[in-house]
């Protein structure tokens, strides 16, 4: 059986594992990402990490076919390079990841954006397996997604495909009705109300306690304790963020008609208060022929992106034909 | 050179033409659609129409490879059947178009929804030629679209893909802020503010003259005459409908990153008052890496759908692999 090393390279940590051609994770490990030290330092550390995993595989009698990487940033999957990235990984933009890792390790390397890797993993072995098409949307620090059709993610002409957080949302308004600023530079987008930081900001805008530091804190308050109903301001913030999330997911479901919808990210794992409001808004948005569309919670957890990334080299036709338009 | 007959079957008329393998229309004709007489009557009339065109082709020394049909309704392109259709064509739902026409004519027949045919035509020989991906959105009686990737339309798992009018729009609100009802049964959707009838309804909601019968009338008032500025209520209705259209197109561009965006339909042809407001809203919505995305007006006019439909049989791999998930 063939195996590949799947790498999930994020702003704070890099997870990698040995993945079989059936999508089983034989073992995995994690290192910190050297996110302040530039592209070359990250490539050096990642290559060393991969070679250690390859030795571990060899000691178990297993060979390694290649490296698949899911990376933060906008990734040119044809060249294996980082088109752009936020300051979360300094100096990452412009890095030639595929050649850099291949040269350092001698292993064929393929790269996509981490959300696409995540969706590929869920479509292969997770919540969306087996489906012929699925749309994954992750609600966490940001809002991102990936539409996987016949096993292939739609990467987009400029490798930007999947930025589903940058649609207009009627919920992304302040109390005066002005559109909330979005991290992309525009305003009124889904991400400006439905991400974790946006949920926290909504709580504060509604007069919440400034000592509550983040979305996790808002959820803790909203859920209450010992049978109490929870803080009403916190519940309202969770509700509006969840409704914005579900409404956007439903609208995209109407436009794309995936076999199944998969929801992931920190907010998807935050419990029924968010999920139930999100699902109700999703169902309210669907056209009648889509009424029974499955709405699934991602099931692979932190392993999804490295499993999906490994598939890039285990099933390389995922990245053909040219231009990543799959 | 091979030729096919492309058919564009709509609620009021059916256009068909002989199309070469290069996408040139050799000739075309139009008949009324028997939209009150049921599926069998429509199939009989369409088959007779096609056979007449085939005789005309034969008299010019040209053979016919097959029939491609773009039809109103939700179309199962694998079976060539009508999954559902509105009352605009009574008795059309359930009709087996592909077998029905093939049996009557002896010609191999393929069928897709008319908006997908339209987009295929524009991607092949129209505004989006040559591109590796394009998203067409038609703003007319309704709002529909089609995302064509590598020459293939994304038809959706339940053949519903392309219903881009059923996303939430912040503009689809009445004066009290309540979401406007949408023809799909939900509320607050793009189609509820950005279609032609919705534009007319917006004009009336804003206190416009009840004697103005439709969107065309609103545009005539809005444009004014002889250098006058035009009626301000009409201009406001056009502006809000156009902004809703452009904002939705921009959000979908962020999510899908097509090489080019194509806008068609009656509103796209209504002049700069609508187009300029639509384009400004579109550009305001785009993420920075998409800033230069071409926004194109459809160029094939009424021939687009029959050209695209003909391609279904001239390039039959458009409808593979299975399930229409392309």
Q: Do A179 and B170 touch (CB under 8 A)?
A: yes
Give the residues across from A71 on adjacent strands.
Answer: A9, A113
Phi-psi region of A183 (alpha: psi -120 to 50; beta: other; left: phi over 0): alpha
pLDDT at A227: 74
CATH code given to domain A3-121+302-320: 3.30.420.40
**Residue of A186, A166, A163, A187 whose CA lies nearest to A177:** A187
Q: Determine the average pLDDT of the residues in A312-318.
A: 88
Q: Helices B97-105 and B39-59: crossing angle, nearest 10°?
A: 50
Confidence of residue B325 (pLDDT cuts 50, 70, 90): very low
Work out the percent of chain B whose per-residue pLDDT is above 90: 93
Please tell me whether residue A62 adopts helix, strand or coil conformation: coil
Number of other residues whose CB lies within 10 A of the CB of residue B21: 14
| pLDDT value, residue B226 | 77
Chain A residues lying within 8 Å of B184, measured CB to CB: 254, 287-288
Q: What is the pLDDT of residues A80-100, one digit of tens each?
A: 999 999 989 999 999 999 999
The answer, yes or no, to whether residue A52 has pLDDT greater than 60, is yes
Fold of B3-121+302-324: Nucleotidyltransferase; domain 5 (3.30.420)
Tell me the shortest Cα–Cα distance from B17 to chain A, in angstroms. 30
pLDDT, position B225: 82
Cα distance between residue B309 and residue B318, in whole Å: 11
What residue of B is the nearest CA neighbor of A170? B170
Exposed, middle or buried by CB within 10 Å (0-12, 13-18, 19+), for A288?
Answer: exposed
Average pLDDT over residues B123-144: 97
Q: Indicate whether A27 pLDDT > 50.
A: yes
In this model, does residue B22 exceed pLDDT 80? yes
pLDDT of residue A224: 87
List the single residue in B with minimal CA-CA distance to A320: B150
Give the pLDDT score at A228. Answer: 83
Question: Cβ(A320)–Cβ(A137) under 8 Å?
Answer: no
Residue B100 has pLDDT above 90, yes or no: yes
pLDDT band per the 50, 70, 90 thresholds, residue A226? confident
Domain residue ranges of chain B, discontinuous segments joined by +: 3-121+302-324, 130-298
Looking at the domain covering A131-298, what would its CATH class be? Answer: alpha beta
Interatomic CA distance for residues A162 and A181, integer angstroms = 20
Burial of A301 (0-12, 13-18, 19+ CB in 10 A): exposed
pLDDT tier, A317 (very low <50, low <70, confident <90, very high otherwise):
confident
Q: Which residues pair with A84 in a beta bridge?
A: A74
Collapsed DSSP state (helix, strand, coil) of residue A35: coil
Chains A, B: CB contacts within 8 A come to 158
pLDDT band at A318 (very low <50, low <70, confident <90, very high): confident
Nearest to B1 by CA among B57, B44, B62: B62
d(CA B112, CA B82): 9
CB contact under 8 A, A161 and B326: no
Residue B102's pLDDT is what?
A: 98
Query: What are residue A96's DSSP bridge partners?
Result: A81
Q: Could you tell me the two tokens for B300? A: 């094939």
- pLDDT over threshold 90, residue B114: yes
At the topology level, CATH places domain B130-298 in: Nucleotidyltransferase; domain 5 (3.30.420)
Give me the DSSP letters along B114-133.
Answer: HHHHHHHHHHHHSTT-S-SE
Instruction: Locate B124 and state its tokens.
Output: 């092949």
A323 has pLDDT over 70: no
Minimum-distance CB partner of B325 among A149, A162, A287: A149
Element (H, E) at A245: helix A232-256
d(CA A68, CA A16): 9
pLDDT score, position A325 = 35
User: Among all residues of chain B, which has the CA nearest to that of A165?
Assistant: B255
- CA–CA distance, A313 with B76 (Å, rounded to integer): 34
Segment B2-28 mean pLDDT: 97
Q: In a 3-state reduction of DSSP, which class is residue B177? A: coil
- CB neighbour class for A202 (10 Å; exposed up to 12, middle 13-18, buried from 19): buried
Among B158, B207, B155, B164, CA closest to B182: B164
Proportion of chain B in helix, strand, coil states, percent, rounded to 5: 40, 20, 40
Is residue A229 very low, low, confident or very high in pLDDT (cuts 50, 70, 90)? confident
Backbone dihedral angles phi then psi of residue A77, each to the nearest 5 degrees: -75, -20
Q: Which residue has the higher pLDDT, B315 or A97?
A: A97
In this prediction, residues A95-122 reach a mean pLDDT of 98
DSSP H helical segments within A78-164, as ranges? 97-105, 114-125
DSSP letter string, A177-241: SPBPB-TTS-BSBTHHHHSHHHHHHHHHHTT--TT--SHHHHHHHHH-STT----HHHHHHHHHH
The domains spanning A3-121+302-320 and A131-298 adopt the same CATH topology: yes
**In terms of residues, how long is chain B?**
326
Indicate whether A324 pLDDT > 70.
Answer: no
Our CA-based measurement puts residue B230 at a distance from the nearest CA of chain A, in whole angstroms, of 28
- Point out the residue among B150, B158, B159 whose CB comes nearest to the CB of A325: B150
* Beta carbons of A217 and A200 less than 8 angstroms apart: yes
Question: A228 or B6: whose pLDDT is higher?
Answer: B6
Q: What is the mean pLDDT of residues B308-316?
A: 94
């Amino acid at each position: 059986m063939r195996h590949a090393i799947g790498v999930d390279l994020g702003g704070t940590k890099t997870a990698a594992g040995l993945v079989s051609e059936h999508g089983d994770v034989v073992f995995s490990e994690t290192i910190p990402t050297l996110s302040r030290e530039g592209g070359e330092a990250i490539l050096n550390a990642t290559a060393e990490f991969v070679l250690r995993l390859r030795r571990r595989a060899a000691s178990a009698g297993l060979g390694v076919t290649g490296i698949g990487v899911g990376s933060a940033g906008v990734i040119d999957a044809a060249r294996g390079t980082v088109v752009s990235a936020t300051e979360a990984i300094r100096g990452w933009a412009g890095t030639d990841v595929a050649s850099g890792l291949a040269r350092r390790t001698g292993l064929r390397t393929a790269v996509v954006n981490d959300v696409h890797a995540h969706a590929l993993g869920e479509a292969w072995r997770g919540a969306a397996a087996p489906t012929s098409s699925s749309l994954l949307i992750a609600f966490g620090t940001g809002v991102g997604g990936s539409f996987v059709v016949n096993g292939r993610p739609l990467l987009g002409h400029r490798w930007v495909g999947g930025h589903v957080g940058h649609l207009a949302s009627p919920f992304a308004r302040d109390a005066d009705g002005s559109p909330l600023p979005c991290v992309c530079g525009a305003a009124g987008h889904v991400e400006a109300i439905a991400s974790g930081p946006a949920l926290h900001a909504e709580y504060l805008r509604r007069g919440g306690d400034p000592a509550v530091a983040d979305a996790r804190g808002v959820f803790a308050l909203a859920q209450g304790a010992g049978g109490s109903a929870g803080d009403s301001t916190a519940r309202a913030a969770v509700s509006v963020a969840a409704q914005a999330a579900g409404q956007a997911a439903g609208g995209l479901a109407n436009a794309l008609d995936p076999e199944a919808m998969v929801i992931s990210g920190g907010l998807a794992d935050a419990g029924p208060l968010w999920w139930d409001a999100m699902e109700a808004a999703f169902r309210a948005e669907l056209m009648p022929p889509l009424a029974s569309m499955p709405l699934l919670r991602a099931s692979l957890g932190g392993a999804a992106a490295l499993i999906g990334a490994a598939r890039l080299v285990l099933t390389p036709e995922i990245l053909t034909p040219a231009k990543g338009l799959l």
